Amino acid sequence: MKVTVSLIKADVGSLCGHHIVHPKQLDLAKEILEEEKRRGILIDYYVFNCGDDLELLMTHGKGENSSEIHGLAWNVFKEVTEKISRPLKLYAAGQDLLKEAFSGNIKGMGPGVAEMEIDERPSEPLLVFAADKTEPGAWNLPLYRIFADPMSTAGLVIDPAMSGGFTFRVVDMKEGEYIDLKCPAETYELIALLGTPGRYAVERVFRSSDGLIAAVASTSRLSFIAGRYVGKDDPVLMVRAQAGLPAVGEVLAPFAFPHLVAGWMRGSHHGPLMPVSLKDAKCTFFDGPPRVIGLGFQLRNGELIGLHSNEPADLFEDVAFNEARRKAMEIADYMRRHGEIAPALLGPEELEYTGIVKIMEKIKSRFKKIT
Ligand code: F6R
Ligand code: MG
Ligand code: MG
């Protein structure tokens, strides 16, 4: 059976600064999606948040880039903004809605989108990741480890179904172009791009032997759309697992290393990506550190099967990730001791979208030639 899974998210305002989505925002989003499910537009949905980002996970039969589904998501973000964020005077109400009117495709309008139309397998484990206070390139290192590093994913060595390797679709987010690179043959070229996560990010991963979609991520950069700093893009990612794809544990293991990502306070700092449970998906310390949550589902004819009351498995709730969290806080403290000095602070290319440009402008005329 063909099913489309759409994960569309936006920051449309939050409680106590850029901290956490308000329960009333979640409730209204659920109410609207429940009605769309009743009308038969959606097969199923799950509404959640990662910090100040409202995340809509939807399944349906309308394919990728469906204007009906994109329009529905845009409408949810608009309604939540007008009926909850603004009346409650939540912070940065409607922040990610960069365009006035919906014009058929939500991509390029502010919200982040990850979508895949798949042939649902006899059993389909689906992992859904969302991050706060970082950018799409944050997935580069874990996706490389999951799908291209045989020292991390044992299946690349042990499972014959994976020995043909995986193809990475990498997007140049600045130029709006993409390239497909087939690994292991083009591993070095892949790493050459992934090493610049501010510009290049993985949009999709395919199993090379049959083209099966294995992963899909959001790759829009708000600053490239708006031409100024709006907020970080706070990306999402979906990964299919098992039976000829990396096992759930092989997908999760790379997140035990809290690697440095761009974002954090004012979208201007490098900080560790900390894997947390749903209840800990809220950024506090220096507006961070950047966080990632992981949710586990089984698909059943497009239905999102979870645990009690159909809640997904909260994958990073496990004690196995305690050490990663402890290490992340140690790294966070170490990075903060650098204050506002690079590489704790991002490089000039990234900062050109922030307010620091105005500060530089102000003092520019006072520079004198060295004689
Ligand atoms: C990062 C983020 C926050 C804000 C910071 C300042 O993505 O959203 O770190 O940049 O809290 O926010 P303003 O300028 O709105 O006071
Ligand atoms: Mg915010
Ligand atoms: Mg956010």
Give the whole-angstrom CA distance, residue 10 versus residue 338. Answer: 31
Give the whole-angstrom CA distance, residue 29 versus residue 13. Answer: 13
pLDDT tens per residue across span 174-188? 999 999 999 999 999
Q: Given 9, 133, 232, 282, which residue is catalytic?
A: 232
Split at pLDDT 50, 70, 90, the class of 153 is very high
Max Cα-Cα span within the chain:
76
Q: 298: which strand partners?
A: 125, 305
Q: Mean per-residue pLDDT for 51-67?
A: 98
Question: How many A from CA of 53 to the centre of ligand 2?
Answer: 7
User: Does ligand 1 lie within 6 Å of residue 267's CB atom?
Assistant: yes
| Listed residue (293, 284, 261, 266) closest to 134, CA to CA | 261
Q: Mean per-residue pLDDT for 34-54?
A: 98
232 is catalytic: yes
How far, rounded to the nearest angstrom, does the alpha carbon of residue 103 sit from its chain's CA centroid?
Answer: 23
Give the whole-angstrom CA distance, residue 174 versus residue 226. Answer: 12
User: Does ligand 1 lie within 6 Å of residue 265's CB atom?
Assistant: yes
Q: Mean per-residue pLDDT for 243-253?
A: 98
Ligand 1: which of 287, 336, 340, 345 to mutate, most ligand atoms within 8 Å of CB?
287
User: Does ligand 1 lie within 6 Å of residue 165's CB atom?
Assistant: no
11 is catalytic: yes
Ligand 1 atom with least separation from CA of 355: 14
Give the whole-angstrom CA distance, residue 282 versus residue 276. Answer: 9
Share of the chain above pLDDT 90, in %: 89
Question: How many A from CA of 213 to the centre of ligand 3?
Answer: 27
Split at pLDDT 50, 70, 90, the class of 349 is confident
User: Does ligand 1 lie within 6 Å of residue 240's CB atom?
Assistant: no
Give the whole-angstrom CA distance, residue 203 versus residue 217. Answer: 5
Say what the pLDDT of residue 25 is: 98
Would the pLDDT of 354 be above 90?
Answer: no
Would the pLDDT of 232 be above 90?
Answer: no
- For 188-216, b/e burial (b = at least 16 CB within 10 A) is eebeebbeebbbbbbbbbbbbeeebbbbb
Say what the pLDDT of residue 242 is: 98
Split at pLDDT 50, 70, 90, the class of 65 is very high
Split at pLDDT 50, 70, 90, the class of 325 is very high
Q: 20: which strand partners?
A: 15
Q: How many CB atoms neighbour CB 370 within 10 A?
A: 4
Whether the Cβ atoms of residue 223 and residue 352 lie closer than 8 Å to each other: no
Out of 31-40, 79-88, 201-210, 350-359, pick the least confident: 350-359
Identify residue 37 by its one-letter amino acid code.
K
Say what the pLDDT of residue 356 is: 86
Share of the chain above pLDDT 70, in %: 100
Q: Mean per-residue pLDDT for 20-33?
A: 98
Say what the pLDDT of residue 273 is: 98
Ligand closest to CA 10: 3
How far, rounded to the nearest angstrom, does the alpha carbon of residue 91 sit from its chain's CA centroid?
Answer: 21
pLDDT tens per residue across span 185-203? 999 999 999 999 999 999 9
User: Does ligand 1 lie within 6 Å of residue 18's CB atom?
Assistant: yes
pLDDT tens per residue across span 302-317? 999 999 888 999 999 9
Say what the pLDDT of residue 326 is: 98
Split at pLDDT 50, 70, 90, the class of 88 is very high
Ligand 1 atom with least separation from CA of 91: 15
Listing DSSP states for 234-273 in one string gives --EEEEE-SSSS--HHHHHGGGGS--EEEESGGG-EEEE-
How far, rounded to the nearest angstrom, does the alpha carbon of residue 152 sit from its chain's CA centroid?
Answer: 22
- pTM higher than the cut 0.95: yes
Average pLDDT value over all residues in the chain: 96
Whether the Cβ atoms of residue 14 and residue 55 lie closer than 8 Å to each other: no
Say what the pLDDT of residue 105 is: 92
Quick check: bond before 289 cis, omega within 30?
yes
**Nearest C-alpha to atom 16 of ligand 1 is from which residue?**
17
pLDDT tens per residue across span 107-125? 989 999 999 999 999 999 9
Q: Given 11, 53, 132, 149, which residue is catalytic?
A: 11
327 is catalytic: no
Question: How many A from CA of 45 to the centre of ligand 1?
Answer: 30
Would the pLDDT of 350 be above 90?
Answer: no
Say what the pLDDT of residue 358 is: 87
Distances (CA, A) of 5 to 54, 64, 73: 17, 8, 13
Question: How many A from CA of 231 to the centre of ligand 1?
Answer: 7
Q: Mean per-residue pLDDT for 60-80?
A: 97
Provide Rg for the chain, Cα atoms.
20
